[in-house]
Amino acid sequence: MPDGPPGDVHVRAARPEEHDAVAAVLDAAMLRTDELGPALDRGDVLVACADGRLLGALVLVQEDDAGGECRHVDAVAVRPNRRGQGIGTALVESALDRCGPDERLTAAFDADVRPFYESLGFDIEERDGRLFGGR
C-alpha cells in the first residue's frame, strides 16, 4: 500500500450538493448508509478529490463506545479504478484528525478489509460475526 494518495488528491468535507456524487461512490462499492444526508448536514462526510472529480468518500457518525464517545466510520469507499493508491488511507487519516483527544475512531467491517484497518493501526476484534476496529 502506498504511503499516501497521489499528490493531486486532497481530502475535504463534502458539500451538501455533492450528495448524489457521494452516493454514487458508495453505490459503486456496494455500500449503503441511511446516514449520508444527516452526516452531510453535520459536515461529517469527507471526500477525496482530484481535478474536480470525487474519487472516494467516508461517512462518519457519532456513537457511544464502551470507552466513551467515538466517531464511527459508517462507510468508506474509493472508486474501483483508484483503489490501492492510498486514497482510503487518506480518508481514514483525515477522520482520525477530526477526533478529539479523548475520542476514538471505530469501524465495523468484513474480513477482506481487515488488512486495510490493521495497516492503519486499528485494534481489531470479532463481534457478532463481523470485525470491529478502533483507534
Residue 111 lies in a domain: no
Residue 125 lies in a domain: no
Residue 39: per-residue pLDDT? 94
Residue 135: per-residue pLDDT? 92
pTM of the predicted protein model: 0.88
Residue 114 lies in a domain: no
Q: In total, how many domains does the chain have? A: 1
What is the spatial order of strands in the sheet that 53-65 belongs to? 10-13, 45-50, 53-65, 68-78, 104-109, 130-134, 123-127
Residue 64: per-residue pLDDT? 67
Residue 67 lies in a domain: yes
The domain in which residue 73 lies consists of 10-103
Task: Kindly report the CATH number assigned to the domain that includes residue 54.
Answer: 3.40.630.30
> In a structure prediction context, what are the per-residue pLDDT tens digits for the chain, which is 135 residues long?
445 566 789 999 999 999 999 999 999 999 988 989 999 999 999 999 998 899 999 999 987 656 556 799 999 999 999 999 999 999 999 999 998 888 899 999 999 999 999 999 999 999 888 899 999
Residue 133 lies in a domain: no
Which amino acid makes up residue 11? V
Residue 128 lies in a domain: no
Residue 32 lies in a domain: yes
